[in-house]
Amino acid sequence: MTNQEAAEKIMTQFTGSTFLCNEFRGEVTLEFDRGLIEDVCRYAKEELGFSFLVDVSSVDNIETKLEEKGRFEVVYELYSYVDYICLRLKIRVPEENPLVKSVTSLWRGADWHEREIYDMMGIKFENHPDLRRILMWEGYPYFPLRKDFPLAGKPTEIPDVAFSQAAPLEGGPFVTRPADHSYQREPRPKTFQPGDMD
């Protein structure tokens, strides 16, 4: 079974739902509605042999053309030790209600990956056994990997626990931002305001 065939099997199994199938550099990405994630993962694991959850990551799409479909993306990388193939599953999560069903019941390894996404991006996972912050300390108020969180950081304080201050970035280090046109890609001092990139 190739990864293309695996994607087709999932699409035939869940007929009636919309799937978006992409191929890039030999990797297949299946994008679908977030309500289906647990069912698709269970089918992929139990019927198609994707026993290894390599990674779960998240993407923030603020200020891009993709934002209308939902601000966040959660990306699952699956791997099969039977057919030696990879498959990427992707769901969209809106900002207003960032809630996704947890897949920890299928793969124990998803536990910390989902905690990290909650910690960094603020996406919550339903039925997660222990959804706490993992890299930042308990009580930290922000989600640092969101695009509207500045690179320099923000000042916070929890007395007797921890505090943070914005790093002095004025005038450097020079940072570069992704953009379509090369004139926008020239490095400038980082004083990020939403709307800067227009």
Instruction: Draw the binding track, 4-23, toward other proteins (x: CB under 8 A; -: no contact).
Output: --------------------
Positions in 79-98 near other proteins (CB under 8 A): 81, 84, 86, 88
Report the nearest approach of other proteins to the CB of residue 123 (Å): 14
d(C-alpha 112, C-alpha 115), whole Å? 5
Q: Give the one residue of 7, 28, 93, 120 binding other proteins; rule: CB under 8 A.
A: 120
Asked if 153 and 136 count as a contact pair (C-beta separation under 8 A), the reply is: no
d(C-alpha 83, C-alpha 131), whole Å? 33
Q: Does 47 bind other proteins (CB under 8 A)?
A: no
Asked if 103 and 76 count as a contact pair (C-beta separation under 8 A), the reply is: yes
Residues that bind other proteins (rule: CB under 8 A) add up to a total of: 47
90 phi, psi to nearest 5 deg: -140, 135
d(C-alpha 28, C-alpha 142), whole Å? 33
Helix extents (H) in 66-170: 110-121
Q: Give the one residue of 1, 136, 156, 164 binding other proteins; rule: CB under 8 A.
A: 136
Chain contacts with other proteins (rule: CB under 8 A): 24-25, 27, 29, 51-55, 57-60, 64, 75, 77, 81, 84, 86, 88, 107-109, 111-112, 116, 120, 134-137, 144-145, 147, 149, 151, 175-180, 182, 185-187, 190
